[in-house]
Amino acid sequence: MLTIYGVYRSRASRVYWMAEELGLEFQSVPVLQARRLADPLAPEAPLNTHSPDFIAVNPMAQIPSIRDGDLVMHESLAINLYLARRHGGPLSGQTVEEDGLLTMWTVWAAAEVEPQTVKIVLTYDNELENSDGGQETIAVACRSLRRPLAVLESHLAGRQWIVGDRFTVADLNLAEVLRYAQSEEALFDAHPNVKAWIERCQSRPAYRAMQATRGREPIEI
């Protein structure tokens, strides 16, 4: 059985969404981010990214990780590419060319988009969005996202999905990376193709199931 290490309020959300899309049976092992705890190494601390038991799974001390049989993997976007290929179906590449495009768009999301969207979401997570520094961080990140979003806007002209004529792992991975910036409504209003596409992605039952579970997780520890 697939084991997913992580909590839904983390990058593990994209792996949980993928598992829901594929209809996989899985075991969830909640692993909190150490930064959310006053003393992550205290004897009574819940399992977290600094716990020795988790470090034995992922020495990088980051979530998510998975165990699938004898395979242990880290890095959420790579995990999703693996799960798509492992289980096949419409979310995976149907040709070598499609496989290449799924990988290309996923790497693009990680390299060109996520560094900026993470700055935005962390500003809100740290409740700094109304501070001068926080507003400047968000403004700079939004400016840096204009070119990537313009590229995606052009790519989606006349298309419903990123690769082929169906929802794939590329859509899921990129939608989750961009979700971190959805607080900035003007950014998406300026890119209507992107806005309509991410709404299609987030209307899927598997996404809603993931978000319902995420919503039940406590925000404060």
pLDDT digits (tens, 9 = 90+) for 126-162: 999 999 999 999 999 999 999 999 999 999 999 999 9
Q: Is the peptide bond before 52 cis (omega within 30 degrees of 0)?
A: no
Its CATH architecture, for the domain 96-206, is Up-down Bundle (1.20)
Res. 219: pLDDT tops 90? no
Residue ranges covered by each domain of the chain:
2-90, 96-206
Res. 221: pLDDT tops 90? no
pLDDT of residue 107: 98
Nearest one of 130, 128, 100, 109 to 180, comparing CA atoms: 109
Q: What is the mean pLDDT of the chain?
A: 97
- Tokens representing residue 34 in the block: 């150490």
Domain 2-90 has CATH 1.10.10.10: no
Tens of pLDDT, residue by residue over 87-111, are: 999 999 999 999 999 999 999 999 9
Amino acid sitting at position 70: D
Tens of pLDDT, residue by residue over 38-68, are: 999 999 999 999 999 999 999 999 999 999 9
Mean pLDDT for 7-14 is 98
Structure confidence at residue 220 as a pLDDT band (50, 70, 90): confident
